[in-house]
Structure 1
């Protein structure tokens, strides 16, 4: 169905021929003809107990005004296909399918014929929402969409392997999948757009509109590649729980990269092993020592790809980090961290936090 570019529904004044048509119909039903006409174009539920239920209808691609009227009458949304035919002729829509939009609509039987037509004309299709939190990985998104019943997790992951550089030429050349570039936020899409490709498209559009300007307008780290920026921001995202610490954590990582010290980030180990640590089950020494391209305790520099989708705050912090002397930090398990300048201070902080966790565990077991 062709998309009509008009901004509003083209209501027309009642022409003489239209008057004749309406009068002809009215006269054919006796003295109550005018009442019939008013009743036919009125909401179906007008004289009944009001219903809050919305009815879902599917308008197929290329449907004519006549076919749309049949769909609406069968769904119980309009009283008369005859009235619909007269009314759409009056509006100049009878011979043309150019004004109405295909799609799935939720319509109320209480709406008038004009309101229903306006909804379909303007393409106000049924919307659904989805939310991708900051710091989610592609696998978490895939499982989420499968739980929603939109498509399988594997279908989503397969789609993330197809880099749509023809539509998004700014995407780095050598990325194996879209990890990190699927911008986290709450979205609304048409119910008919619940496909992996459509979902990925709206998230990439949002990255282009919101994140890309931050990178292009940065004043520092001008030699930083887009992929390195997103990769480091994803690590900052996974390490940051308290917003006030985000820029400091970014500053620590920049200091370690500058001094050629491994980042030593737990989330990178977790990503490489496909696990998630908890306060009760932290990473073991064996896991930290397990070789992986993503293990930043073993490998210097950044991970091969981002490890999650960073939010705007982490992306900004990565190019505007706090200037600090800190080189280390360790989690307190309350969302905050202890920051240290030397390895000795860091080891001391680790031991103190470990003792506190052991004492807490012992008191719980009593």
Structure 2
């Protein structure tokens, strides 16, 4: 009996040492990141970690994980593991849900293409899936149904995204929800009173966003655009031509100004068919609250500001002075 007891005790000691070994001994020598997809079960999580060399033994990992209820409310997302991390430390990180969060800032005036490229570089989206949704979607946030083409409504702001947990759908929904809160909820009644649809206000705001460099000129530029729209004068907004060309740098040529495109406001009267960028709240407010001015023209003074003119003759003189033509 003593011999049997001795063997049992030795076995238990060996088992305890093995447990300690698999729990606390580090098995990797370099930092690694893994993504735990939403709704992953414990076996799937163990397989991901084992395949990436983060844990050595799935059995011990699963047993200890079940004992400490690590897998009950597992948070999906990207987990970063430092070199020489032990199984116990891995379980602790999972239990605490210590996923990597990416802070992404979308500047005012960026296009959907700009936003998509930024998110793709951060490996947060599949670019093709993102553009498929942006160009042909059916999003309803609250009671508001957004247009199928979402450029103009991807609200410029700072967001916090997580790999794996944020699909293309979820990321776009966050931006649209921010737009609804900042624009529709805040200015919905004012938009109705203006007599323009939200789509036209956002489209006009996108032109203001691209034309204005200094903030105090936004409502003045808005006033000029409203005056031209009322008089059915073509807006002749250079950014619409650049958008049509896909050309955002350099001086526009006469040939450029005559490019055949529904976005070209040099050859078409009225607003473009949709926004040319995603405007910020300042440009949207300017589209809603334009300054009451008599100006019909403006030209860049090459210092970030514009010369505004009431007559074409004055405008021609300003163009000659500041642009040399």
TM-score bracket, normalised by the shorter chain, equals 0.7 to 0.9
Distance 1:321 1:79 in 2: 66
- Alignment partner, residue 302 of structure 1: 271
| TM-aligned CA distance change 1:214 to 1:297, over 3 Å | farther
Distance 1:158 1:109 in 2: 39
Gaps of 5+ in 1: 1-23, 46-50, 359-366
Q: After superposition, give the CA deviation of every residue in 1:103-127 in whole Å (9 maximum; x if it has no partner).
A: 4311346778776445424544333
Counterparts of 1:45-194 in structure 2, within 5 Å, are: 54-59=31-36, 61-64=39-42, 68=45, 88=65, 90-91=67-68, 93=69, 97-108=71-82, 116-117=90-91, 119-145=93-119, 153-167=127-141, 169-172=143-146, 175=147, 177-193=149-165
Normalised by the size of structure 1, how large is the TM-score?
A: 0.70
CA displacement at 1:234 relative to structure 2 = 0.3
CA displacement at 1:236 relative to structure 2 = 0.4
Secondary structure of the 1:56 match is: strand
- Alignment partner, residue 186 of structure 2: 214
Instruction: Say how many residue pairs are matched.
Output: 317
Distance 2:9 2:314 in 1: 91
Distance 1:29 1:230 in 2: 71
| TM-aligned CA distance change 1:154 to 1:219, over 3 Å | closer
Alignment pair present for 1:325 and 2:294: yes
| TM-aligned CA distance change 1:283 to 1:76, over 3 Å | closer
| TM-aligned CA distance change 1:255 to 1:29, over 3 Å | same
Alignment pair present for 1:237 and 2:209: yes
Secondary structure of the 1:29 match is: helix
Distance 2:297 2:139 in 1: 38
CA displacement at 1:325 relative to structure 2 = 2.6
- Alignment partner, residue 248 of structure 2: 276
Secondary structure of the 2:78 match is: strand
- Alignment RMSD: 3.9
Gaps of 5+ in 2: 1-7
Normalised by the size of structure 2, how large is the TM-score?
A: 0.77
Alpha carbons 2:76, 2:164 under 8 Å: kept: no
Q: After superposition, give the CA deviation of every residue in 1:218-242 in whole Å (9 maximum; x if it has no partner).
A: 3884322110111000000010111
